[in-house]
Structure 1
Amino acid sequence: MSTPAPRPAGQEHLWSVDEHLEDILATVRPLEPIELQLPDAQGCVLVEDVTVPVSLPPFDNSSMDGYAVRVADVAGASEEFPAVLEVVGDVAAGQASGLLHVGPGQAARIMTGAPLPAGAETVVPVEWTDGGLGQGPVDGMRARSLAPEQASGHVRVHRPAEARAHVRAKGSDVKAGDRALTAGTVIGPPQIALLAAIGRGTVRVRPRPRVVVLSTGSELVQPGEELGSGQIYDSNSFALTAAARDAGAIAYRVGAVADDAETLRSTIEDQLVRADLLVTTGGVSVGAYDVVKEALSHVGDEDEAGSGVEFRRLAMQPGKPQGFGAIGPDHIPLLALPGNPVSSYVSFELFVRPAIRTLMGLTDVHRPTTRAKLVADGALTSPKGRRQFLRATHTEGTVRPVGGAGSHLVAALAHADALIVVPEDVERVEPGTEVDVVLLG
């Protein structure tokens, strides 16, 4: 991490959403590249272009089971007047065809993926022949299940074929020297397939960041356990861990930590060894039992330059209280999010997801945005001076709010696929107005 330019600090300064995000992205740096085996590189970002060492396919090969023939020998062939060709051999996938040559009046039985033998110009599918049995096409279909020595030495071809029909040309996919993948590509299953096909066993990438998520609060109980008086289930740590994985991280969820500064401090210090980014939820407002501030002021080597977490008020709703900084001797970035479920999730989307994508080395770190027409039963209201983010569903150029504005209303979050953005200088939005929308899908 680098140290960002200083900004006005403390509770007196009301940060804008953009200021807070800019501070985060100016501080978080992409992880150092490493060489990984292909299965381990899934989800990682390439740091260098990959060129093709050998053409793909590396040789002309058949795309069908059938017979490799010369075009002139099957010209004019029909059911009534089939072309009768001498079968001079078989070519199977994985078998060299260098010793086999197809001359005038000859054919070679060929399997899908097998190299085209010398002299052959095209492939006729077995369905266009008698299968080398000297009988009709229906009986000929049985030839594919027979060993070569069981078939006759001739084949009847009932249809003509154009040159290079059913032939996969050498280099028709990619040619030697072509650029297979460019730096910045996220490696998924198709990219792994291509890398393997061109013979790459390893690739140089930025690793997926390790994100540790922990929630705080003595009232929190793990799902599956019985609730006591005044207790609620811990949903935030599950939601944010899933969100971190969705963003591309390797995420670790830590069980809820009670409202005890020493316990929280010890837990965070224990997690530093496996974290590229730490995310806490809860305990960042001005309540009497908000111990996160107290705990984070003494985590790791706080005397090191650049260490420390600053707690801020943001001009946004939900998610006004936020914290950001670096902790420990390695200056691991930490984002402290509010404890209300909607506040924590919206804060994740706005601040944590871009940080994760930056660690991965991606250039496009934000969710896509669009403009859509507001569909609502009445006007939306928003507090003056706050940027409001409302859960919504987006469909074909329109957007409709779901649930209320309360930051505890988690049920509506499960049905939302977008956030309506109401700017700081707008206090009322009428139905039919075009609004900015963040797409969460």
Structure 2
Amino acid sequence: MTATADAEAAANELMPLAEYLGSVLRRLRALPPLDLDLTQAHGNVLAHDVLAPHPYPAFDQAAIDGYAARWEDLAAAGRIGSHPSFGAFEAGLRPVRLNVVGDLGAASWRPVRLTPGTCFSVAAGAPLPIGADVVVPIHWTDQGMAAVEIMHAPKRGSGVRRAGDELPVGRVLASAGAYVTPAMVAVFAASGIGHVVVRPSPRVVVVATGDELVDVGRPSQPGQVVDANSHALTAAAVEAGALAYRIGICDDDPEGLRGLLEDQTLRADLIITTGGTGTGPGDMLRRVLSRRDHGRGVVEFTDVALCPGATLGFGTVGGEEVPVVCLPGEPGAALIGFEVLARPVIQLLAGAEPVFRPGVKAHLLETVSSPGGLREFRPAHVAERRGGGYTVQPLAGGPYTLSGLAEANGLLVLGERVTAAAAGSTVDVLLLDRRR
């Protein structure tokens, strides 16, 4: 049997990624809903539909600065030919003259009524006088104070916003599962809503394990490896919408590891570990978490058809059975593992839909090869084509996945049956929401 055949036979023994993700996500439920003040709700996911309890605008109001009038009083304004007595006005227009009986600003509150032949000077946002059905722009007038001459008759209703025009009572302002955005906060507030029911942001604790790990600020050397993972995974969890806490480095000490994880179950909705998922002599995490302690949950480690990184762990720890995701120790594999497993778990706990990143079909710019039997996620740069659609340029993968991810705005996805994808072919790409 050839080396390629051996590799494919070994890959066939791995669990397909889709099957593995389905088995994990079916075990989880969104966090219980929470009533939050608007200023605290931004970035959270709505637990219920939000309906408008009041109309917006709340009352008839002027949409522009100008003069609120009755359209019937303005109908005569228009072109009649040259008239030299109009002074600064455009020649050829016949003005309509109205008495200005008051000024109204946004803070005006007393109801007033128009009578024929009169108008009010109004500011944008001011309550509309009773009987007014048009606001004349200032630049269509001589800007008079006691009386005003109006050169054009706007259409009936011009310059006016009626109560409920934009959002009537009972309108669905936002649906359950939507993220609360700044604009959404403004809509809620304008409609008279001060609190909304949301899913809380998951509290995520990140732990790196391994006797070889040292903290950042120094280079790696034989016997010591800088802990890049816990910093990167904490940042990734924040980007995914979690409240993330980096615990740091935990040595390969069974009792210390058990105690640390037990302590963190009191503050976490999800624990993410990195390192120790293999079967080598130093992989203490797998040995500790695979042991079923009565009433304290268990973590199952599964060899998944995934490249890079094949072994992932999922289960619960502690008396509260807090979910735990175990990722590989190699930094590139850890970040890919986060994308395919930890991020969907965070999204599900947060009540978000969909839980996976958006994907597109893209035109491949360069031929790539891929290991058979594994679903490969390779860093890539995605760009929109001028005529529509997308192109994708593969970046460094395999042992160089970490450096590729630092440049990527997408992940090229090559399925288990793909061993090569030719330039010009159409491939699947996940879009990373990088803000650049």
Q: Which of 402, 406, 412 in structure 2 is aligned with 1:410?
A: 402
- Asked whether 1:331 is paired with 2:321, we answer yes
Q: In the TM superposition, what is the alpha-carbon distance from 1:88 to its structure 2 partner?
A: 0.8
Equivalence for 2:140: 128
Measure the CA separation in 2 of the matches of 1:228 and 1:312.
29
Q: Which of 114, 136, 154 in structure 2 is aligned with 1:102?
A: 114
Measure the CA separation in 1 of the matches of 2:315 and 2:220.
35
Compare 307-316 and 261-270 and name the one that shifted more: 261-270
- Asked whether 1:423 is paired with 2:436, we answer no
| SS of residue in 2 equivalent to 1:403 | coil
| SS of residue in 2 equivalent to 1:120 | coil
Deviations 1:254-288 (A, max 9, x none): 22223333333222222111111111111111232
Task: Give the counterpart letter for 1:131 in structure 2.
Answer: Q
Q: In the TM superposition, what is the alpha-carbon distance from 1:77 to its structure 2 partner?
A: 5.3
Q: Is the 8 A contact 2:218 2:226 kept in 1?
A: no
Equivalence for 1:82: 95
Measure the CA separation in 1 of the matches of 2:31 and 2:19.
23
Q: Is the 8 A contact 1:221 1:227 kept in 2?
A: no
Q: Is the 8 A contact 1:283 1:291 kept in 2?
A: yes
Structure 1: segments with no counterpart, 5+ residues: 1-11, 133-151
Measure the CA separation in 1 of the matches of 2:221 and 2:374.
35
Deviations 1:157-210 (A, max 9, x none): 333322111111221111112222222222111211111111111112221111
Equivalence for 1:250: 243
Equivalence for 1:158: 151
Measure the CA separation in 2 of the matches of 1:348 and 1:33.
25
- Asked whether 1:302 is paired with 2:303, we answer no
| SS of residue in 2 equivalent to 1:35 | strand
Q: Which of 122, 131, 135 in structure 2 is aligned with 1:119?
A: 131
Equivalence for 2:375: 387
Structure 2: segments with no counterpart, 5+ residues: 1-11, 80-88
Q: In the TM superposition, what is the alpha-carbon distance from 1:61 to its structure 2 partner?
A: 0.6
Q: Is the 8 A contact 2:250 2:257 kept in 1?
A: yes
Q: In the TM superposition, what is the alpha-carbon distance from 1:28 to its structure 2 partner?
A: 1.2
Measure the CA separation in 1 of the matches of 2:174 and 2:377.
37
Q: Is the 8 A contact 1:373 1:398 kept in 2?
A: yes
- Asked whether 1:186 is paired with 2:179, we answer yes
Q: In the TM superposition, what is the alpha-carbon distance from 1:315 to its structure 2 partner?
A: 1.9
Equivalence for 1:265: 258
Change (3 A) 1:221 1:131: farther
Equivalence for 1:40: 40
Compare 275-284 and 309-318 and name the one that shifted more: 309-318
Measure the CA separation in 2 of the matches of 1:39 and 1:13.
50
Q: Which of 335, 342, 364 in structure 2 is aligned with 1:352?
A: 342
Task: Give the counterpart letter for 1:244 in structure 2.
Answer: A
Measure the CA separation in 2 of the matches of 1:227 and 1:421.
32
Where in structure 1 do 4 or more consecutive aligned residues deviate above 6 Å? none
Equivalence for 2:60: 60
Deviations 1:35-94 (A, max 9, x none): 111122222222222222221112111111211112233332572543332111121113
Aligned residue pairs: how many?
403
Task: Give the counterpart letter for 1:84 in structure 2.
Answer: R
Change (3 A) 1:90 1:40: same
Measure the CA separation in 2 of the matches of 1:13 and 1:265.
31
Q: Is the 8 A contact 1:97 1:116 kept in 2?
A: no
Q: Which of 284, 290, 305 in structure 1 is aligned with 2:277?
A: 284
Measure the CA separation in 2 of the matches of 1:194 and 1:359.
26
Measure the CA separation in 2 of the matches of 1:52 and 1:404.
49
Equivalence for 1:200: 193
Q: Is the 8 A contact 2:261 2:317 kept in 1?
A: no
Measure the CA separation in 2 of the matches of 1:202 and 1:263.
43
Q: Is the 8 A contact 1:323 1:336 kept in 2?
A: yes
The two structures have a TM-score, normalised by structure 1, of 0.85
Q: Is the 8 A contact 1:302 1:328 kept in 2?
A: no
